[in-house]
Amino acid sequence: MTDSVHPKTMGLYVHIPFCLAKCAYCDFFSKPSDSACNPDEDFVSALISEISDCKKRFAVSSWSSVYIGGGTPSLLKPACIKRLLSFIHSEGLCEHAEITVEANPETLTEPFLRALDECGVTRLSLGIQSMNDHALAAVNRHCTASANRTALHLVQSKWQHDISVDCIAGLPGQDDSQFCTSLSEMLSYEPDHVSLYTLTVEEDTPLYTAVENGTAAFSQETADRQWLLGKDLLNAAGYRQYEVSNFSKPGHESKHNFLYWTQSDYAGAGSGACGTVYDWDTAQAVRFTACQDRALWKQFWLSGKSDGEQIPAAVRECEVLDAQTLEFEFLMMGLRTVRGVSESAYRKRFSCVEPWKGNLELRLNQSAWWKKLAEEKKASVTVSGNDRIFALNPDGLLLLNPLLRSL
């Protein structure tokens, strides 16, 4: 599979792999600054070089959406984030493109917010997680409930665009009542969007070690129960669940994330970033993952050696995804959303995949779980024009994992 030669629109994900301190539950790539790489002008220059290369290499006419995540993008100085965003604008944005920037409360400042506003950012995603000091301390969050409140007050008074907040159910150090109080306080600031996650204890994280040796208490049952309590609170407050972990007020869903859920092209820039470019004529895709050696990544993109050349595997790994892999990802990602999956899209993309040959109904009905959910009115097939949509409702989404395991 070769680089595209036909101009296209793509999403852009920019990774800022820095944090003040690693949270105990986090298995995303980020770490504190060091002498070899920190979020300074050189880092932004390297990002600009890589973004420029992606635009040329994949024949991108304009960016359909931009998501700057991490890590902690708010560790960038206002001048640096302005330079980065100004460059992205100069490279071409679709009309009404969504531009999201993540921030952590303890590093959010009014000058940073002002810089985002001046650069046309449409959506701020704030990593609150909890308003309970015991829960924050239990997972080594480099933040306090007071810092969360200060950030939320700042956003409420100075930010005129969309705001999303993150909340985690099942954190050690908070019971059901404290969890509900915490989420209710977040909702009092009237965010447009809430990402409600269940705490996952990932291997090779400090939290996993702490749970294993008994120094941290974690119960999956408690985490699941708190998530359901949170879901009820969000529904009562007028938020609509549109994906497994995401709720929004009507019209405030994350547009960028739908690129992932619908197998649309997106480029990734920054150490540890990932991007995927699809070729439906061949039912293949190439997934690009940048190295996690921040110093090596920065050195390469500042060297000027990338122009028209193959990127060394040490800097960016490439994986070709075959039709069978893409077919399962189509179901895995699409069924995460209440929009569900399209029968016509499945037929068009996967008629080459045996034994279903593009027959979505046949594919799903071979699963006893899909049949069970359909019988219980938790999965449905609806007609949309000349298409049929296969989807789970919010009750069905609770059973997504066993359904996927059955496919």
- The segment with the largest mean pLDDT, out of 13-27, 197-211, 215-229, 264-278, is 264-278
What does the pLDDT read at residue 208?
86
| Three-class secondary structure assignment of 36-103 | CECCCHHHHHHHHHHHHHHHHHCCEEEEEEEEEEECCHHHCCHHHHHHHHHHHHHCCEEEEEEEEEEE
Mean pLDDT taken over the chain: 94
Ramachandran angles phi, psi of 183, nearest 5°: -65, -40
Q: Percentage of residues in the chain with pLDDT exceeding 90?
A: 86
The tens digit of pLDDT for each residue in 336-387 reads 999 999 999 999 999 999 999 999 999 999 999 999 999 999 999 999 999 9
The tens digit of pLDDT for each residue in 103-150 reads 999 999 999 999 999 999 999 999 999 999 999 999 998 899 999 999
Q: Which helix (H) or strand (E) holds 346?
A: helix 343-350
Residue that wins the pLDDT comparison between 374 and 30: 374
Whether residue 5 is predicted with pLDDT greater than 70 in this model: the reply is no
What does the pLDDT read at residue 34?
83
What does the pLDDT read at residue 4?
46
The tens digit of pLDDT for each residue in 84-101 reads 999 999 999 999 999 999
pLDDT bracket for residue 1 (50, 70, 90): very low
Residue that wins the pLDDT comparison between 163 and 205: 163
What does the pLDDT read at residue 215?
86
Tell me if 69 sits within 8 A of 102, measured CB to CB. Answer: yes
Q: What is the DSSP letter of 31?
A: B
The tens digit of pLDDT for each residue in 288-338 reads 999 999 999 999 999 988 776 789 999 999 999 999 999 999 999 999 999
Tell me if 338 sits within 8 A of 243, measured CB to CB. Answer: yes
What does the pLDDT read at residue 2?
43
3-state secondary structure (DSSP) of residue 248: strand
Whether residue 35 is predicted with pLDDT greater than 80 in this model: the reply is no
Tell me if 256 sits within 8 A of 65, measured CB to CB. Answer: yes
The tens digit of pLDDT for each residue in 269-281 reads 999 999 999 999 9
pLDDT bracket for residue 6 (50, 70, 90): low
What does the pLDDT read at residue 357?
96
Give, in order, the Cα–Cα distances in Å from 391 to each of 130, 259, 343, 372. Answer: 31, 18, 11, 13
The tens digit of pLDDT for each residue in 189-198 reads 999 999 999 9
